[in-house]
Structure 1
Amino acid sequence: MSFIDPKTDFAFKRIFGSPKSKDILLSFLNALLYEGDSAIESVEIVDFNGRSLVAEENHPLTLKALLNGEQKCIFDLQFLNLQTLGQRVLYHAAKSYSQQLFDKKERKPEIKPLMAIHLTDFIMFEERESPISRFTFKEIETDFSYPNGELGLFFVELPKFQKELLELETIGDRWIYFLKNASILETIPPELAVVAEIQQAFELADVESLTHEEFALVQQQLLAIADRQNAIALGKNEGIEEGVEQGRQQGIEEGIQRGKEEGIQEGIQRGKEEGIQEGIQQGRQQGVKQGRQEGIQFGKLTIILRLLNRRFKLDAATQETIKSLSNEQLDRLAESAWDFITDSELEEWLEKQAKEE
């Protein structure tokens, strides 16, 4: 068995936002927010503008919930793949909170408490070790909570969660482990299967249950994420290199200022600054272009090899042949991979590519 990655927008919403997801949502939210107690009794996926949110990429799932049989509230549920500014998180939470006034299904809209839940595939709070963080409004000097707890933020940072299967203690631990590791599992571990709702989540994530179009969409989203992550990493490396070079250059300039007269030093300084800036600009343009192309091709190759390995268990020679394909050939292989029934068809396809070169 193989499973789609719950950290992609499509897979996350297929698992938690489909018509079959009611029990999954209840288990997941109660596990994270209420330590497994059944405080949340019912949930309903809604959109205050009358559109379905399930199919909208990069848009949170908005849920109406009933707590303890009486309190009504709103949950915003979203997975974030790439580093996000804190202001943007606050903006979306405030927007969902205020949009309750425009709920077309209620004749007299009522402002309900809102909890914005964000699951991240990156570390958002470097100063905190725990993977789970909760925020509410509090009075600064006395730590007094704002009455009614109308607006809150809840974060789960997956990179901070390091527990292995045998270390899982709570249902919340099991759900976080599922989100982080489902895409690399080949079977459903007994430690997770004991939770019926997690078993249902695995069934929705099973690659065999997808249509050709859905599988292609998952591939596209994985490639897009890999491309953006590579671009971010490349930008950070360039920034570090540029900072080191500028620091070294500054030291040289200060030495020149001490050892030569002001007029000679000023001329040398101007010439070096112009040369450095021109060199940095040219190097950055060339490096970004090359790195982005290599990053895109590496991302495609990784996904294609993972797919084909799961289906045919490729030998080393076949993997090396695939790694030698051009970017255009990898695109054609990605389009054809789903149609291969046997590994012989894959080998025939590779031999044909070699002859066409």
Structure 2
Amino acid sequence: MRFISPKIDYVFKKVFGSEESKDILISFLNAIIYDGEKIIQSLTIINPYNPGQVLTLKETYLDVKAVLADGKIVVIEMQVSSMTSFGKRVVYNLAKGYANQLKVSDNYIRLKPVIAVTITDFILFEKAEKIINKFVFKEETENFKCLDEELRLVFVELPKFKKKLSELESLADKWIYFLKEASSFDEIPPSLEEVSEIELALNLANQAGMTVEELEIAQNRAMALQDERGKITFAKEEGRQEGRQEGKEEGRQDEAIALIMRLLKKRFGEIDTETITNIENLTIEELENLGEEFLDFNSITDLENWLNI
């Protein structure tokens, strides 16, 4: 057997967001949010997996969304690499999930709590040793909770997980090990197979069970993500070197602009003068955001629309 990494956004959606994923998602969320207790008994996946031909990076911002039996909303994101303003994006998705429940005339009492589960393949909290960290609103000095836990953030940092297969104990251990190591399996390990939901998840991630079209999309998606990260890393390093050589006070600004222009020209060809001027007028933070956002652009029109926001 050969398995495709569930960290790839396309495969993550297939495993946790397809019509077959209900029991998988219940088990996973109970493990991560509720320490393995069977709090969640039922849920509805409201953005079911849909294998399209074109997958943009924008879609990875919200990989799976579900409504629990008690009305709570859970939004789940798998993020492979760090990026500028990542924390703001997490908060935005959480707030959007909460605010979008109401129509103009609806009463606030209709609002249900929202939980954002974010899985990262990079270290997010350097000073925290725990793999799973959970946050709610608390008073700054007295540390008591407020807002009845209407908004919760749950983070899972995969690189912090160091256990071997023989050391797995909790249900959370097994799910995190699945996410981190599934692509290295030659067969389903007995200790994971005993959890029926993980066995099903591995069957969904099994190359043998995929259609030729699905397999091609997943493989292309993995290569595209790797290529884009490599391009950004290389371009950033080039920009840093040029900035240091120029030795200007505004070197960082020039570096960011040079990086953006190189990436855009490689992607779309020559850029018109007005667009270049608009880019040159961006702040450092805006330039860094554009450096990430441009990966979602399919045409120069998308760039122009972003600049006009």
Q: TM-score, normalised by structure 1?
A: 0.62
Distance in 1 between residues matched to 2:72 and 2:44, nearest whole Å: 11
Could you say which residue in structure 2 is the equivalent of 1:138? 138
Could you say which residue in structure 2 is the equivalent of 1:86? 87
Distance in 2 between residues matched to 1:168 and 1:102, nearest whole Å: 45
The 5 Å alignment of 1:113-124 reads: 113-124=113-124
> How many Å apart are 1:22 and its aligned residue?
1.2
Give the number of equivalent residue pairs.
247
Deviations 1:38-96 (A, max 9, x none): 1011110125xxxx565573233111113xxxx43110012112214211111111111
Could you say which residue in structure 2 is the equivalent of 1:160? 160
Letter aligned with residue 93 of structure 1: L
Distance in 2 between residues matched to 1:117 and 1:33, nearest whole Å: 8
Contact 1:117 1:153 in 2 (8 A): yes
* 5+ residue gaps, structure 2: 267-309
Could you say which residue in structure 2 is the equivalent of 1:77? 76
Deviations 1:19-46 (A, max 9, x none): 1111111111111111211101111012
Deviations 1:88-121 (A, max 9, x none): 1111111111111159xx9998210000001111
Distance in 2 between residues matched to 1:162 and 1:236, nearest whole Å: 31
Deviations 1:277-327 (A, max 9, x none): 8xx98xx88xx89xx9xxxxxxxxxxxxxxxxxxxxxxxxxxxxxxxxxxx
Does residue 217 of the first structure (1) align with residue 220 of the second (2)?
no
Could you say which residue in structure 1 is the equivalent of 2:99? 98
* 5+ residue gaps, structure 1: 247-271, 293-357
Could you say which residue in structure 2 is the equivalent of 1:334? none
CA radius of gyration, larger in: 1
Could you say which residue in structure 1 is the equivalent of 2:129? 129
Could you say which residue in structure 1 is the equivalent of 2:67? 64
Change (3 A) 1:54 1:74: farther
- The one of the two structures with greater contact order (alpha-carbon pairs below 8 A, sep at least 6) is 2
Distance in 1 between residues matched to 2:17 and 2:75, nearest whole Å: 12
The 5 Å alignment of 1:232-243 reads: 232-235=232-235, 237-238=237-238
Distance in 1 between residues matched to 2:68 and 2:151, nearest whole Å: 15
Distance in 2 between residues matched to 1:97 and 1:108, nearest whole Å: 11
Does residue 204 of the first structure (1) align with residue 207 of the second (2)?
no
Q: Percent identity?
A: 41
Could you say which residue in structure 1 is the equivalent of 2:31? 31
> How many Å apart are 1:228 and its aligned residue?
2.4
Compute the RMSD of aligned alpha carbons: 3.0
Distance in 2 between residues matched to 1:228 and 1:109, nearest whole Å: 44
Contact 2:14 2:49 in 1 (8 A): no
Change (3 A) 1:78 1:54: farther
Change (3 A) 1:109 1:13: farther
Could you say which residue in structure 2 is the equivalent of 1:14? 14
* SS state at 1:126 partner: coil
- The structure with more helix, counted as a fraction of residues: 1
> How many Å apart are 1:17 and its aligned residue?
0.9
Deviations 1:116-148 (A, max 9, x none): 001111222222222211111111111111131
* SS state at 1:90 partner: helix
* SS state at 2:2 partner: coil
Letter aligned with residue 67 of structure 2: K
- Once the two structures are overlaid, the 10-residue window that deviates more, 145-154 or 223-232, is 223-232
Could you say which residue in structure 1 is the equivalent of 2:279? none
Distance in 1 between residues matched to 2:125 and 2:240, nearest whole Å: 21
Could you say which residue in structure 1 is the equivalent of 2:180? 180
Distance in 2 between residues matched to 1:158 and 1:177, nearest whole Å: 9
